[in-house]
Structure 1
Amino acid sequence: MTIQVSITPNGRMSLPADIRKRLGVAGGGALLVEETPDGIILRTVAQSIAHAQAIARKYTGGNPDVSVDAFLANRKADSGE
């Protein structure tokens, strides 16, 4: 779905009520703004967490026991340090 919203001179924009309701921010809330080469993406905090978790799964093979310490140890071993 593509909609047009207006931005006021002081930089504010309004999301239509039906979109706010679907996102769960009808009564107020926070959205995270991600700038990309193609434009901007608005996500709720929950959507951002799910997106980050999907990226993490991609790099950890879905192994929940992977830690930063293990990653760094493996990288150090691979580099011969």
Structure 2
Amino acid sequence: MTYSAKVIKGGKIVIPAELRRELGFADGDRLVLEREGEALVVKSYRQVVREVQEVFRPYQPQDGRSMVDDLIAERRREAQQEDDEAAASVPRDRR
């Protein structure tokens, strides 16, 4: 179906109510505008998040591990190593 909208003062575009309902756009929703050549593509923020999640899904561990937990554990090991190195560089009489 084709819809029509008009750009009004301040660069505002009113999306027809029927189209807003079909797309699930509600008052206050954040929308993302993308330019594709001479066309303007309007997406909901939720849609963009889903698209980004799909791009990164192949990199998610398949064994159920949490990448966040792995990263936190790695950072803790690095911090402990830095603390150990700093303590080792302090002369014994200053400890």
TM-score (norm 2): 0.52
Unaligned ranges ≥5, structure 1: 68-81
Residue 47 of structure 2 aligns to a residue in which SS?
helix
Aligned position for 2:10: 10
CA RMSD of aligned residues (A): 2.4
Contact 2:32/2:44 (<8 A) preserved: yes
Unaligned ranges ≥5, structure 2: 62-66, 68-95
| Between structures 1 and 2, the one with greater helix share | 2
**Deviation of the 1:37 alpha carbon:** 1.9
TM-superposition CA deviations, 1:3-26 (whole Å, max 9, x none): 121111321110111222233323
Larger radius of gyration: 2
Aligned position for 2:60: 64
TM-superposition CA deviations, 1:21-51 (whole Å, max 9, x none): 2333233311111122242111101111112
Aligned position for 1:24: 24
TM-score (norm 1): 0.59
Contact 1:17/1:26 (<8 A) preserved: no
Q: Indicate how the Cα distance of structure 1 residues 19 and 31 shifts in structure 2: closer, same or farther if over 3 A, else same.
A: same
1:39 aligns with 2:39: yes
- State how far apart, in whole Å, the 2-side matches of 1:38 and 1:7 are: 16
